[in-house]
Structure 1
Amino acid sequence: MIEQPAAAAVPSAARRPNTPQVLAWAAWDWGSAAINAVMTTFVFTVYLTSEAFGETDANSVVLGNALAVAGVAIAVLAPVAGQRSDAGGRRKYWLGVNTVLVTLATAACFFVFPSPEYLLPGVALIALASVFAEFATVNYNAMLPQVSTPRTVGRVSGFGWGMGYLGGIAALALVLVLFVQPAFDWPGASEEGALNLRLVAVFSATWFLVFGLPVLFAVPELPRPAASARPGILASYRRLGRTVAGLARSEPHTLFFLGASAVFRDGLAAVFAFGGVIAAGTFGFALSEVIVFAIAGNVVAAAGAVAGGALDDRVGPKRVIVWSLAGLLATAVGLFLSPGAAGFWVFGLLLCLFVGPAQSSSRAFLARLAKTGREGELFGLYATTGRAVSFLAPTLFAAAIALAAPHVAEGQAQRYGILGIAAVLLAGLLLLLPVRSPAKSDV
């Protein structure tokens, strides 16, 4: 096991969380919402899968495949990237580097013009931004034990997720009144050449950079370990293998949880990644309607995350996750069967309600499993290997659409992507059920 300095990895149970650090840490989540909500969920991917780039079902398949390739890259590269940043005492440094790379890839989407030949560059930039965002999240999630205490980790985790959703509301509201349905006339609202939507990319990059900076100043860097030769890439993979083997021998339920969460968190990510695409392509929402729904959905998701964090401290994280995944599956079936926009509003908001608690309690679950002095390592492993199957949901989403396309009316195949996402959530739930919950004394 990789040893981390105890003081940096986990605060004492007796110490209260540092409020300015918690706020700065959560501000990064607030800022990243511009990438998650605006770019990859409700606005820019809707633009990329619109008729401006060709047939909508085909565009959805291309987007799904691009995100699947990004998931494979994350699975191969992220575990060692996170391990090396922790071992070198450069967690905050790499959080900053990857945050900047996300903003650059996002800003470059300004040059994606509404024409079929720009589809591949557009989805490639979105996929690249998602890879760098995941590398940044590796280090961001690993900071949770630094800014919380064992007794407050659930609430701090829920607060971070809630801030992310609220940041999504604020960013989407500004996008709506500045670019999509401008409240006043200004040059950036022009729809000629989709200028307004391309400027959304510049707005999102700026938003993320501004709100992603405070954590880099407020939270201290990890102490550097004793001087030693830095392992090469192959040695880092061998070290990762030894870590996983050690968990299998001494803490199998921790390893089981890492595997189960890797699957269901991929399904949770897909709910948001393809939610806006389904709203527009299957249920006929205009872009402005997608954004209004997104704002409402983020309000519901924020409430769910905060409430789930409080419930987590009372009943334990496993129950919160199981209840949330069961709710998501029932809601996904209802959404698939819904004939019109009213059904999407009802079942879509229910999906948002259940996603937040599952995400927040998953992070808190691992915090309760971690032993003193090993929290940093386990959070790094969770954040990196948690995306080991990140290609699964995009692949099944795209495959379900491709399989259904020959058998349904044109433009209706996209609906079947919902079943692909539901299959991933079901697999994650089944894998989680045998995992032992943290001891009551740890909750």
Structure 2
Amino acid sequence: MTAVAAPPPARLLSRPVLAWTAWDWGSASFNAVITTFVFTVYLTGDAFTGLQEGDPGFAAAKAGLSSGLGWGIAVAGVVVALLAPVLGKRADATGRRRVPMAIATGVVVASMFGMFAITPVPGAFWAGVALVGLGTVAYEIGAVNYNSMLLSISTPRSIGRVSAFGWAAGYVGGIVLLVVLYATLIPGGPELLGDLRADGLGIRLCAVVCAVWFLVFGLPVLLTVRDEPGRGAAPNGVLATYRQLFRDIAELGRQDRNLLFFLIASAVFRDGLTGVFTFGAVIASTVFGFTFGQVLIFAVAANLVAGVSTLVSGRFDDRFGPKPVILVSLVGLVVTGTGVFLARDGGTAAFWVGGLLLCLFVGPAQTSSRSLLGRLSPPERAGELFGLYATTGRAASFIAPAAFAVLTTVAQDQGFGILGIVLVLAVGLVLMLPVRGAGSPAEGAGRALEGSDHP
């Protein structure tokens, strides 16, 4: 291929980048509020057991709620693993990403509107789990198309900063929304709108606000970022798409093992990164003695630290490449996570320090992972490979929860679950070491963007 001069970096404040970033900002309503800090906590609360603390069977009923939620999310993960790469491959062939992304965004919004009907009674629990699962599937499918759009709004010299800008916007969006909801609707906060505890009204209204939030901020990318020309005819039918997909994976193993190894390594360490946030609230409350209100305040601070560090890391990504950012972040996570474990008897102050240090490294590792895949992916296979990225992540999504559960059970101490997450991150770090980076960004690194006319 004849070398071409690298185009100037895309402006972060350009209309397409801002529109693309708004979707990440809006999706924080589902990621931060629904699945992490608020609605799933509500869904596994005492009221859904139908019992009072101290009643026979109360503990078993509480454990059953957590288990049921876990199984619901696991089923959603299987559905994503089956659909994401196939839908991504068909989007590559047709070039149409906005329509499937609009449908996925609409389903997430509808699922959150539906959560208003989930009153705190035992009979509503599985309906709530189903809505969380439906939203999870739709969000992940939408994210495949969203991530693929990164290649059309960035250049080899700016892809790291653009990716980091979007990811940071997600963190900041989570901060803003959590602060607003904590001040107005969430029980235990200032409750500026009055006491809304009856029938879980405050939490149910949170879901409605989240739905409107995502609807508003999800629209700009659908109206602004254009579809690209198709890259060939889509396979005729779902089974034909799967057959072609398996052939392509086999070919990837023969022709580009480095990319295949990256997908495997990233699946492991991304599951560890997810574990940091998934179990962070549990660890804060059960090991370090945080109240629910303190957990939400910490969540705001955690998103702020992660957002700033992610935004800064984009410049290092574009200057030195994404792999060094990933490795430094993983080393920082392993060292800091071990420190949090050793300080597990240190009370709330110890977790404030250790937890925020962990958040300093999570965002950069996440966004540079996306950036590295964008640099390594041929443009004609971007949707498929980002679909595989989602699939491998879901396929490995049991590792961190299993490690957390096993060490907690063996030691009979949830503090030891921290070591389980650290172990997953360490394994991901080791697997990442032999993966080759995308070369020097200054030289137009990234086969995905070589010779392209992206703005």
Residue matched to 1:6:
none
Residue matched to 1:5:
none
Q: How many residues align?
A: 424
1:98·1:133 contact (CA, 8 Å) conserved in 2?
yes
Residue matched to 1:423:
423
- Which of residues 332, 341, 352 is equivalent to 1:345? 352
1:41·1:277 contact (CA, 8 Å) conserved in 2?
no
- Which of residues 10, 19, 25 is equivalent to 1:17? 10
For the aligned residues, what is the CA RMSD? 2.5
TM value normalised by structure 2 = 0.86
- Which of residues 124, 127, 130 is equivalent to 1:121? 127
Aligned counterparts, 1:34-433, within 5 A? 34-54=29-49, 55=59, 56-180=62-186, 183=190, 185-186=192-193, 189-225=195-231, 228=233, 230-337=235-342, 338-339=344-345, 340-370=347-377, 374-378=378-382, 380-394=384-398, 396-397=400-401, 400-401=404-405, 404-405=408-409, 408=412, 413=414, 415-433=415-433
4+ residue stretches of structure 1 with deviation over 6 A?
none
Residue matched to 2:53:
none
Percentage identity across paired residues of the two chains: 47
Q: What one-letter code is carried by the residue in structure 2 that aligns with 1:36?
A: N
Q: What SS does structure 2 have at the residue aligned with 1:390?
A: helix
1:393·1:420 contact (CA, 8 Å) conserved in 2?
no
Q: What one-letter code is carried by the residue in structure 2 that aligns with 1:38?
A: V
1:301·1:355 contact (CA, 8 Å) conserved in 2?
yes
Assess, with a 3 A threshold, how the Cα gap between structure 1 residues 267 and 230 changes in structure 2: closer, same or farther. same
| CA-to-aligned-CA distance 1:230-275 (integer Å, 9 cap, x gap) | 4211111111122222222222111111221122222222322333
Cα distance, 1:115 vs structure 2: 3.1
Residue matched to 1:439:
439
1:397·1:419 contact (CA, 8 Å) conserved in 2?
no
Unpaired runs of 5+ residues, structure 2, are 50-58, 446-455
Cα distance, 1:288 vs structure 2: 2.1
Q: Residues of 2 paired with 1:418 and 1:184: CA distance?
A: 33
Q: What SS does structure 1 have at the residue aligned with 2:394?
A: coil
> Would you say 1:26 and 2:30 are equivalent positions?
no
Unpaired runs of 5+ residues, structure 1, are 1-10
1:266·1:387 contact (CA, 8 Å) conserved in 2?
no
2:77·2:394 contact (CA, 8 Å) conserved in 1?
yes
Q: Residues of 1 paired with 2:226 and 2:99: CA distance?
A: 10
Q: What one-letter code is carried by the residue in structure 2 that aligns with 1:325?
A: L
| CA-to-aligned-CA distance 1:123-174 (integer Å, 9 cap, x gap) | 3322221111100000000000111111100110111111111111111111
2:266·2:393 contact (CA, 8 Å) conserved in 1?
no
Q: What SS does structure 2 have at the residue aligned with 1:213?
A: helix
Q: Residues of 1 paired with 2:335 and 2:65: CA distance?
A: 28
TM value normalised by structure 1 = 0.88
Cα distance, 1:99 vs structure 2: 0.5
1:42·1:275 contact (CA, 8 Å) conserved in 2?
no
Q: Residues of 2 paired with 1:420 and 1:312: CA distance?
A: 29
Q: What one-letter code is carried by the residue in structure 2 that aligns with 1:375?
A: P
Assess, with a 3 A threshold, how the Cα gap between structure 1 residues 30 and 376 changes in structure 2: closer, same or farther. farther
Q: What SS does structure 1 have at the residue aligned with 2:185?
A: helix
Residue matched to 1:4:
none
1:61·1:402 contact (CA, 8 Å) conserved in 2?
no
Q: Which has the higher contact order (CA 8 A, sep 6+)?
A: 1
